[in-house]
Structure 1
């Protein structure tokens, strides 16, 4: 209030405060929120009584938000005692006005298309033969929607399916209707066709819709005829939407309406969303039968042994694996992209032509290992390491999903345990499987499901950064990173084959992550033969610590971002998921100059059950008696998990604490004995 501006700066008064006039003001704000899915979130109502009064109230009725404020100055004079109360009231008023009304998200904000109608009509003749007609009517709402809808790409393989465009029209606001004809349709080979001529190429039907603009309504009907599918039929439909409005959806199977709905619920677009089947309104139809499919695929998993000596020159598992990685190029279809009868190639031909699909690569690897006397068999793995167990149960039993087991591996029995070999490069440690933690399926007689030991090659990273602070505040840096697991193969390959100028740029990037002023004082050292893989370097940072009298303060480089750091401050609507993570340990060791012995501030120790994370600070002495502080952050291997939406504030606060700059700051004082932490 202007009558009090500049009049309440004193902490206390000896004489009364006099103002020029009394005053009163009332304000009412009304805001139409007719499209809001949920009511706004209000701060607590505020009321101040006495010579200075204030009241703010909120109401939400008939989709209208009403905010009313009443402010009054009811006296011309405030005694010194009343003045102190007036200052408290003004402070309370400022605090209240800083608390906003939190409006729910606009459900159409960010939407690119509006689905007016969508229909799926399936006629199933057998588990591997069907016709599915899909009709979509949608309105374009934004440039993003225009860009994504103007060109339709429909991949298929001629040995499996045929796609026909039954309707493709665009209706614009000006009344113009455009129809896509043969000139707007093109059929191209798939990306791998030229690299793997032995395999019949897959195709892409590309449809370019004419005159698509913002506001256009698209009508598209396609018919997909499948006659020889490598996989049994499985369909998954969501009867709710994320970020895109939809008016109607229906699914019909063999003339029977399985489900239809109107005005589908729309969820907000939010980070950290769990897998859809765990929380969304889902319809799944599966004709999968693992036992029946095992009988069909089993003949293609049996390969005759091939003597590796004439080809590889040795019988060892590692040398055979490495020879395959160096000499056989992977190109061609995915496992279920075309019929296995057309894909499976004699391993002898693969060895001659030196390229193969992933399936043929594993078949050839198993043939060589069997020829060397090893017990090797083909299993099919899923990319589900760390996945929520409920999804695995769904894929294996509830709605059998054979298609997720799409990655052939060669399982080699040894006295010290099984090895699972894939298409990893020759630099990868033999025992470190890239599929650690994943499930696999054994289609052999009597076979079932198994899981590759999560500790067998699971990635783990340990970073150790030592900062030796000089008396002038500069820091000598000693950094080492140790990596275990299948990631070692990729790192060895990268640093073994990297060009010198690229290595220099990478080194500068690593230095910049510690401090922009960091200068290398030695080469970037990489151990390409040892296990774990080690990377280390030394550097110098000028003016790293800040002095203020007897105080020395520094902030250590930030750790990796905390889980859930991307969560927004607005109220959460959907469940949230924490993804599967690898084990990691980060250590920052700070050695202070001689004489700086009193600790004034250390980061807080943190320990969370979930996300499982521990930070701990310890204090000790170097052999020459200098103060040493070690900050350690540890995160174990964790599987993905889903949490209710009301956990978001808790995880957001934990992320704030973990990422806080205060939790990276250390202050020490010169001249006294250390008092401990």
Structure 2
């Protein structure tokens, strides 16, 4: 019997050794991955679930270092884990050197080459700093070498999970294997996107276990481009979860606050806050909008948000705890915010932000809870709903800190999802106004005014609210420098009004704004159509525009009375499915002086543009932005 066991063990060891050596000796095809600095020869992950939702992750990674960049990026391997309920065990870690004389393995010395540090992502999280990082330094790594690591992570949290596995990467991956091993009777939801016949999918029953396997050889490498959508929209992706439905996740979050919000101690604390703080700031004749603004400002200035990966990772904090220590999670803070609003007779609900609207149908189908990890509030005032981030002191009612995201409302009954966005007037919008007066020397006096709405307004308030006068003056000089070296200030400083919308205005002189050639004056209009970050004229992937965007320009140019317009941009209107471009040119007289008035409107709708749609849009904008389309020629009468 012992002899049979020894023979079986020897055969298994030989098979594993042979398979590993075969992986080590994989020939690298640089034509397939021309930009690679590291090639992952094997990425194998197994997740073994128990009936109580505890699980073990087994990971095996083999990488070949191709150049110095790859050596710098991969000579260390980092494993992040939660010290409260996770344990990491390094089974095997080594540097492998291959030469004509054979294979040489240099094992990682666990006493010298492995260290455990606080996870950098947890810096400043105070009470919520629960993550550690195990850092494995591979010895004597050089270009051409291989790093090989096997490890396990045991998780005893015993909580349902969701996960996403991408079968496309920014790295070059030769072989990716994902195995999910669950009890046969466990409910488990698997959703595949963009799966193809070249990829392997297996679903087998072995005694009391169910084993699901996904694998792919020569994964697509995602190269750098702007505004790439989530991979599940165009690359092979798998979402898995053992949640039965969205109500389960919502109810787990709701359950955190039931006891806290109904406790006598909590009710007493809220009463004290109202009497000692709010009643000194809020008067009876104030509108509910003003009350909301004051309470939001109080929260944002006195409580610091701590960002965590999973809203279920920590117990809820009471208002007393949050106010005493001065910080909390987004969920804790929004709960306190709504309780204080309730004291003033204003109703609201917590909303958990999830995926952007453009990928929501896929995420909803896959029941991917991981994306829902940040809380805001939906506040109802005068029968209108507004989305508010109570931690943001720079946003005003009607301005959402995020656009076109799906949110899960924390309320009983059937799960309700809402599209989180600003009210219509505060969509991602910028309006610019130019009043320009050109003299006979070709110089121009220009008054410029810019209005910022929505997210843009929030960004400007954050920039200017605490800016010193000296810094603001430096910013003014920088703005003029970006216009032209010939731009000189007339206004002593920029006028910045941080209302809603934010308004910024200033006046400057632009010498040689126009060129004079005999009886002719010619100049360029000071505007370009917004190119939407369309950096690439040819793309490899779809282009995602998450937010609706609106840009308006009004340009009024007064020129000498004895000149006539010979050449100027023509009025036009271009309508596409998700785009509107409108240009309206008028030429008329004003107080004896001639005027050109140009109004432009550009609107883009939230959309994932196919490569063909992107190419068409790029060509339209590029053509309209040709220099000749901004030229104006005047001739003396």
Same fold (TM over 0.5): yes
Q: Name 2:247's counterpart in structure 1.
A: 291
Q: Name 2:177's counterpart in structure 1.
A: 250
Distance 2:331 2:511 in 1: 55
Distance 1:450 1:646 in 2: 31
Q: Aligned-pair distance for 1:529?
A: 5.1
Q: Aligned-pair distance for 1:280?
A: 0.8
Q: Please identify the structure whose Cα radius of gyration is greater.
A: 1
Secondary structure, aligned partner of 2:127: coil
Does residue 504 of structure 2 align to residue 532 of structure 1? no
Compared with structure 1, are the counterparts of its residues 213 and 536 closer, same or farther at alpha carbon in structure 2 (3 Å cutoff)?
same
Deviations 1:281-338 (A, max 9, x none): 223322233122223222214424412323423363222211111111223x516166
TM-score between both structures, scaled by the size of structure 2 = 0.80
Secondary structure, aligned partner of 2:50: strand
Deviations 1:62-98 (A, max 9, x none): xxxxxxxxxxxxxxxxxxxxxxxxxxxxxxxxxxxxx
Superposed, 1:187-586 pairs within 5 Å as 187-191=116-120, 195-199=124-128, 201-228=130-157, 232-241=160-169, 244-254=171-181, 256-266=211-221, 270-288=225-243, 289-302=245-258, 303-304=261-262, 305=267, 306-307=270-271, 308-314=273-279, 316-331=291-306, 333-334=307-308, 336=310, 339-341=313-315, 344-382=316-354, 384=356, 387-388=357-358, 391-396=359-364, 398-446=365-413, 447-455=415-423, 457-528=426-497, 530-559=499-528, 561-563=530-532, 565-569=534-538, 572-586=539-553
Q: Aligned-pair distance for 1:115?
A: 1.9
Contact 2:497 2:504 in 1 (8 A): no
Compared with structure 1, are the counterparts of its residues 201 and 345 closer, same or farther at alpha carbon in structure 2 (3 Å cutoff)?
same
Secondary structure, aligned partner of 1:557: coil
Deviations 1:178-220 (A, max 9, x none): 3223322222224576745434532222222222322121212
Name the count of aligned residue pairs: 556
Choose from 600, 609, 625 the match for 1:659. Answer: 625
Greater fraction helix: 2
Deviations 1:80-119 (A, max 9, x none): xxxxxxxxxxxxxxxxxxxxxxxxx954322122121221
Contact 2:333 2:391 in 1 (8 A): no
Superposed, 1:1-80 pairs within 5 Å as none
Q: Name 2:192's counterpart in structure 1.
A: none
Give the root-mean-square deviation of aligned CA atoms.
2.9
Secondary structure, aligned partner of 1:432: coil
Q: Aligned-pair distance for 1:131?
A: 1.3
Does residue 565 of structure 2 align to residue 598 of structure 1? yes
Distance 1:548 1:630 in 2: 23
Q: Aligned-pair distance for 1:539?
A: 0.3
Deviations 1:407-440 (A, max 9, x none): 1123333333123332343343223232453322
Superposed, 1:89-100 pairs within 5 Å as none
Distance 1:292 1:567 in 2: 43
Choose from 623, 647, 651 the match for 2:590. Answer: 623
TM-score between both structures, scaled by the size of structure 1 = 0.75
Structure 2 unaligned residues grouped into runs of 5+: 1-26, 182-209, 283-290
Contact 1:613 1:634 in 2 (8 A): yes
Distance 2:86 2:165 in 1: 21
Structure 1 unaligned residues grouped into runs of 5+: 1-34, 38-104, 672-677
